Structure 1
Amino acid sequence: MQTLITDSPREAADFINRGQIVAFPTETVYGLGADITNDDAVQRIFLAKGRPGDNPLIVHVYSPKEVEKVAASIPETARKLMDRFFPGPLTLVLCKQSRISPLVTAGLPTVGVRCPRHPVTRAFLRECRHPVAAPSANLSGKPSSTDWKSVHEDLNGKINCILRGEQSAIGLESTIVDCATEPPRLLRAGAISLDELRAIVPGLLGPAAIEEHAQPKSPGLKYPHYAPSAEIRLCGEEYGVCEGGKETAWIGLSPPPEGAAVTCRCDDAGEYAHRLFRFFRECDREHIRTIFCEMPPPEGIGQALRDRLRRAAEGK
């Protein structure tokens, strides 16, 4: 299969409408999409990524009004969050309509729905006949792709088309809130913090421990994620010290250790999030064996960063 690279949202949408799969930019990370009504196309997402079948996908819509096409009902708490954060980096888990392929939801009665704010994404989704189901556009378990070149590196020849855009502005996957339960619960941290969510829905619960063998209601909860080839070592006050060396790398907010081969000092947690996955991929290209990652403070997007770093360390 030859993977086409295009700058045209309409051309990329034509692939989706013909039952094929397309990688596309969003403000969080790049997604790998298929028509939610086409079982064969959705199955090709799982095959291209090597993704476990019990890991559900997020449905992307171009307008908040389109949520009604995929959700059987929209609770008042969900409407409040949509009014404040749609379009944006927020996914809401809602009871699903039967028209959605069960492959999208991994057989669950719920579906995660998101309305991205990226203008290229919205132009692309507007041209698609149906909403688009999409996980991150990378090989399963590896760092998410935040630029089209990383998508090409992982998936060239495995997917039909890449819609080219700029590097993702945020760099971490969306915040996910389960609104199919009462009170709603944060499932995955992201750029929208728990405090921001509670400012709209005061009773919203924080993340709960996921049972080891439980089927996840959203991506990013069960399997190791976000890991480069190198070993990840967390460092900071509550963890350990970082070390320099010719096959080591370092990323964080403090000055890097002497001797590290690849370093990335960030001004704040937002820049750290923006650069993290791209840095992991750079370390793979430089054959780094150990990456020291400084844990940021747990405020704002720092909470999401800590989650991704812990999961990357679990994977390696």
Structure 2
Amino acid sequence: MTQIIDIDGKNLDKSSETEKLVKAAGIIKSGGTVVFPTETVYGLGANGLDPESVKKIFAAKGRPSDNPMILHISDMGMLGEIAVGISDKAKELIAKYWPGPLTLVLKKSDKVPHEATGGLDTVAVRMPSHPVALKLIALAGVPIAAPSANISGKPSPTLSKHVIEDLNGKVDMILAGDQTEIGLESTVIDLVEDNPVLLRPGSISLKQLEEVLGDVKVDKSISQKVEKGQEVRSPGMKYRHYAPKGDMVLVKGDIERVIYTIKHLLGDAGKEGQRTVAIVPEEYIEQFIEIKALNMGSIKRPEEIMTRLYSCLRECDEYGAQMVAAPYFENEDEFMAVNNRLSKAAGHNVIQAD
């Protein structure tokens, strides 16, 4: 039976809230699983140094065991336990962006079980900034392995109700907090070799990384499908992720033509009896009179679209959408993370606007 406990991240100095985290930390220490909020999305956590605990995450999510996990830490001492050969470049990024939504892929120490790394000799590490996450890790006293707290393949959870829908009965405890602030998973950068590689885009942009590191290579998996059997160093690279149940198509091109194409595409599908949903910027919502449209946020505020995206994808399932259409944005600098998640959700089904 899953314990569902409301947690107030703004008042963790209260003894009542601390007691909840002490209880949750006890579950982690004893080999159990706890869902907790972070600033990105909700995470499904277990002791990242215990192989049997990590296996419980795979079981709860239905997650392939070759998909690496991120180990979440609360202090630099933990980093020294799980990673070796930390470069000056890594230290510069840590100084600027930790705690925060940035994951570093580093050489792993012998303490980290292969179950947490997808069998690789590297480890993905992050220090979250969310107060609940930081205090839980500190109280547990171990790095917490925590992928997103959803059934594998579904959109990541940004609200506690999403977690309860997916994992109630499959985990030991759910710490139900507020809506997550960022709404997309962390940026992931590989720093094992001399030349840094962006493996997964997030709210910390390529431009921001290059301001610290100089040139950063962009892994081709960000915009292309990863072939079966190909080794990956980051979660979110290999499998279809973030996906609604219905078919999904993205439309690329000038935004006015994109909206025109989405209306006609879904209009035709609707005439054939399909339930359809458009996910579009708020500037174009009023153009969808006879087609259900979800407001993904303003095109002028990419961070707002990040925050709303997964809730929109989950709402498609609540509506029973059989076909979903959304824009693929042309401004790759600002919308790289959004385009990446949309592409994964659509199985890289991208068409050109009429």
Tell me if the contact between 2:183 and 2:309 (Cα under 8 Å) persists in the aligned partners. yes
1:87 is displaced (CA, Å) by 0.7
The alignment status of 1:162 with 2:212, answered yes or no, reads no
Corresponding residue for 1:279? 312
Corresponding residue for 2:289? 258
Tell me if the contact between 1:33 and 1:134 (Cα under 8 Å) persists in the aligned partners. yes
1:212 is displaced (CA, Å) by 4.2
1:293 is displaced (CA, Å) by 1.1
User: For residues 176-255 of structure 1, what are the structure 2 equivalents within 5 Å?
Assistant: 176-209=188-221, 210=226, 212-237=228-253, 241-243=261-263, 244=266, 247-253=275-281, 254-255=283-284
Tell me if the contact between 2:2 and 2:174 (Cα under 8 Å) persists in the aligned partners. no
Letter in 2 for 1:132: I
Tell me if the contact between 1:63 and 1:87 (Cα under 8 Å) persists in the aligned partners. no
Corresponding residue for 2:344? 311
1:98–1:301: structure 2 CA closer, same or farther, 3 Å change rule? farther
1:41 is displaced (CA, Å) by 1.2
Tell me if the contact between 2:78 and 2:142 (Cα under 8 Å) persists in the aligned partners. no
1:265 is displaced (CA, Å) by 4.6
Distance 1:158 1:63 in 2: 29
Of 35-44 and 89-98, deviating more is 35-44
1:284 is displaced (CA, Å) by 0.8
Normalization by structure 2: what TM-score?
Answer: 0.85
Where do 5+ consecutive residues of structure 1 fail to align?
A: none
The alignment status of 1:133 with 2:145, answered yes or no, reads yes
Distance 2:296 2:244 in 1: 19
Distance 1:299 1:199 in 2: 17
Q: State which of 327, 330, 335 in structure 2 corresponds to 1:294.
A: 327
1:212–1:301: structure 2 CA closer, same or farther, 3 Å change rule? farther
Where do 5+ consecutive residues of structure 2 fail to align?
A: 8-19, 350-354
Letter in 1 for 2:78: E
Tell me if the contact between 1:142 and 1:227 (Cα under 8 Å) persists in the aligned partners. yes
Tell me if the contact between 1:249 and 1:260 (Cα under 8 Å) persists in the aligned partners. yes
Q: State which of 37, 51, 57 in structure 2 corresponds to 1:25.
A: 37
Which has the higher Rg, Structure 1 or Structure 2? Answer: 2
Distance 1:47 1:170 in 2: 27
Distance 1:242 1:33 in 2: 39
1:296 is displaced (CA, Å) by 2.8
Distance 1:315 1:157 in 2: 33
Tell me if the contact between 2:251 and 2:327 (Cα under 8 Å) persists in the aligned partners. yes
Q: SS where residue 132 of structure 2 aligns?
A: helix
1:63–1:3: structure 2 CA closer, same or farther, 3 Å change rule? same
Q: State which of 95, 98, 109 in structure 2 corresponds to 1:86.
A: 98
Tell me if the contact between 1:64 and 1:82 (Cα under 8 Å) persists in the aligned partners. no
Distance 1:76 1:294 in 2: 39
1:297 is displaced (CA, Å) by 3.9
